[in-house]
Amino acid sequence: MTDRPGKIVCVGRNYREHAKEMGNAVPVEPLLFLKPSSAIIHSGQAVVSPRLTRQLEHEGEIGVVIGMPIRRATEAQARAAIRGVVALNDITARDLQKSDAQWTRGKGFDTFCPIGPEWSGIPDFASLEVVTRVNGVVRQRGTGAEMVFSVPALLAYISQVMTLEPGDIVATGTPAGVGPLIPGDTVEVEVVGCSSVSNPVIAEA
């Protein structure tokens, strides 16, 4: 993938254990937010910890890449519109996410969306595993089977609101185990067998 996606649609609290660790109820409907495409970086590029935060955190996620436009899709139509998968790190300034009424600032800084190379195809999402490591130590591990809402259900739900277009990315939520990143760390998200992205963390100059 070379071009920036038109949009990155993210899903919050889509793993029960993560909702629980944050002290949140499991949602009855998908919780949606957007990340700006200007936040995207690739493997080897640095995540810049902003001066404005004191609580930078990783969220390793399965990113789904859309291959054809869908609007008001059924789950079957939504599944057929998938082009591929990327490893995605929904980097979050947790303190700003909590202090603001919505998440644009806490989720939207430049470098807050590392993505790996696109793997082409439609995997078996239930068995697809996402692992997050910091300095080589596993911090998060989860599979699609643990999601509150399945990938096709998420895409169909989002498409009731906005047209999903080719190249758009949907970040499908993070498993339990989110935690701090500090300058000097290296954070890696791997969607096992499909894609991985590794990034050093540096302080804002």
Q: Shortest gap between Cβ of 59 and Mg ion (angstroms)?
A: 4
Q: Does residue 199 bind Mg ion (CB under 5 A)?
A: no
d(CA 131, CA 77): 28
> Measured from the CB atom, is 174 or 199 closer to Mg ion?
174
Interface with Mg ion includes 90 (CB under 5 A)?
yes
If binding means CB under 5 A, how many residues of this protein chain bind Mg ion? 3
Q: Contact, 50 vs 93, CB < 8 A?
A: yes
CB of 61 to Mg ion, least distance (A): 6
133 bridge partner residues: 138, 188
User: Toward Mg ion, which CB reaches closer, 32 or 80?
Assistant: 32
DSSP 28-76: SS-EEEEE-GGGEE-TTSPEEE-TT-S-EEE-EEEEEEE-S-BSS--HH
Please tell me whether residue 195 binds Mg ion under the rule CB under 5 A: no
Residue among 174, 195, 196, 199 that touches Mg ion (CB under 5 A): 174
| Closest approach of Mg ion to the CB of residue 185, in Å | 18
152 vs 173, which CB is nearer to Mg ion?
173
- Of 74-82, 89-97, 150-158, 180-188: span binding Mg ion (CB under 5 A): 89-97
For residue 3, count other CB atoms closer than 10 A to its CB.
8
* From 15, 33, 47, 59, residue interacting with Mg ion (rule: CB under 5 A): 59
Taking CB under 5 A as the binding criterion, the range among 70-78, 84-92, 113-121, 150-158 that sits at the site for Mg ion is: 84-92
Residues near Mg ion (CB under 5 A): 59, 90, 174
